[in-house]
A and B are shown apart, each in its own frame.
Chain A
Amino acid sequence: MQQFRSSGAACQARLADVTTSAPRILCLVLALVLTAPSFASAEKLKSFKLKTLDGVELTLPDVLGKATLVVFFFPTCPYCNAAFPKVQKLYDTYRGQGLSMVWINVVPDERKLIPEWRAKHGYTVPVLLGGRSTPNDYKVRMTPTHYLLDARGEILSKQDGFNPGDEVRLEQQIQKALGG
């Protein structure tokens, strides 16, 4: 790709030197294609239709805020349990500024653990119940997996796993997404 980009730039520089029309046109096209800004749109998170613990069905558009954090987890995931007190705190801090958040369970046979697990830890972030295809649908191979989205559902950042200190970077990303 680098080779093509430098060929395009060289082509532009040589336009004045090209005397025949066909190579000149080809050079012009090449220069325009290789140096033009990308018009590809950002990737959107695939929409979902999942149930809450109360059986209410929600889609991605239903939960989008000014910025939205979607986290894939399961209750017995150790790194999820390490991350979530900090992620809950971010929700409490920035909810009033337009941050929306959902946690999506990706291990269906652990859904029965969720109510007690939420109550034990005092979590208030809404939980959605993923199905058997959810990990494949969202390319989730490890947990927690965080997707930060803008107001249109476009992916601003993705993070797999959690280590102490990651919440600092996540908070900075949230602040930026909220226009801070």
Chain B
Amino acid sequence: MLALIGATPLAADVIVARNTPHLSFIASISPDAVRAGGRLSLVVKVTPKKRMHVYAPGTTYRAIVVTLDRHPSLKPSKLTYPKPSIYFFKPLNERVLVFSDPFTLTMNIQVGTVPAKAAPLKIAGTLSYQACDDRVCYLPESVPLQWTIPVTRK
């Protein structure tokens, strides 16, 4: 049946869910199949653990970021962040931009030509962040990400 409608009869692996000591996240790509010239949407829902915060862009600290490995068929757009909150860091008497409540990062990915041998599309990347709580900072973390997206030919 799938072969009749031209769909690639391969399973998609479009959701990555992880739990670290500092946060949990679900990173999903949609749609779960793509054609050349189409577009994918990456959505990463992050939930910091209790008392934890991670940094937003615009500070001197390491901001949370999703980066995709280079792929000749993919052109990712800039990562979009929600509005951060302001954390008063008392030891240095400074206000910093952080995410301490659940938040979502998004990225659009333009799909170019996909050679037959390159299908299904294997998209790899990394979620990087550095978390602190109200007493210590934790070492920067890089969590590997990978999705597999079938490529339709119609």
| A positions within 8 Å CB-CB of B | 74, 76-83, 106-107, 135, 140-143, 160-164
Binds A, one of B33-41, B88-96, B143-151: B88-96
CB-based A-B contact count at 8 angstroms = 51
| A141-B139, A164-B90 given; 17 more Cβ-contact pairs under 8 Å | A76-B130, A78-B61, A78-B92, A79-B132, A81-B92, A82-B89, A82-B91, A107-B139, A107-B140, A140-B139, A141-B138, A142-B136, A142-B138, A143-B136, A160-B136, A161-B136, A164-B91
Question: Are the CB atoms of A76 and B91 closer together than 8 Å?
Answer: no
Name the contact of B136 in the complex, choosing from A74, A76, A79, A106 (C-beta under 8 A): A79
CA distance A164 to B96 in the complex (A): 18
Known: A76-B60, A78-B61, A78-B132. A142 touches B90 (CB 8 A): no
* Listed A/B pairs (6) with beta-carbon separation below 8 Å: A79-B136, A79-B137, A81-B92, A143-B139, A161-B137, A163-B135
CA distance A161 to B130 in the complex (A): 15
**Chain A residues with Cβ under 8 A from B92's Cβ?**
78, 81-82
Chain B, residues 114-151, CB within 8 Å of chain A (1/0): the string is: 00000000000000001010011111100000000000
CA distance A162 to B134 in the complex (A): 9
**Chain A residues with Cβ under 8 A from B138's Cβ?**
141-143
**Chain A residues with Cβ under 8 A from B137's Cβ?**
77-80, 142-143, 161
CA distance A143 to B92 in the complex (A): 16
| B positions within 8 Å CB-CB of A | 60-62, 89-92, 96, 130, 132, 135-140
A81 to chain B, nearest CB (A): 6
CA distance A143 to B136 in the complex (A): 6
CA distance A164 to B60 in the complex (A): 21
B62 to chain A, nearest CB (A): 6
Known: A76-B130, A78-B92. A161 touches B135 (CB 8 A): yes
**Chain A residues with Cβ under 8 A from B61's Cβ?**
76, 78
CA distance A52 to B25 in the complex (A): 38
CA distance A142 to B92 in the complex (A): 18
Task: For B21, give the chain A residue with the smallest CB separation.
Answer: A141
Enumerate the 7 nearest inter-chain pairs by beta-carbon distance, A residue then B residue, closest first.
A82-B91, A161-B136, A142-B136, A161-B135, A77-B137, A79-B137, A82-B92
CA distance A141 to B139 in the complex (A): 6
**Chain A residues with Cβ under 8 A from B136's Cβ?**
79, 142-143, 160-162
Task: For A77, give the chain B residue with the smallest CB separation.
Answer: B137
Question: Are the CB atoms of A162 and B91 closer together than 8 Å?
Answer: yes
CA distance A141 to B92 in the complex (A): 22
Task: For B138, give the chain A residue with the smallest CB separation.
Answer: A142
Task: For A113, give the chain B residue with the smallest CB separation.
Answer: B60
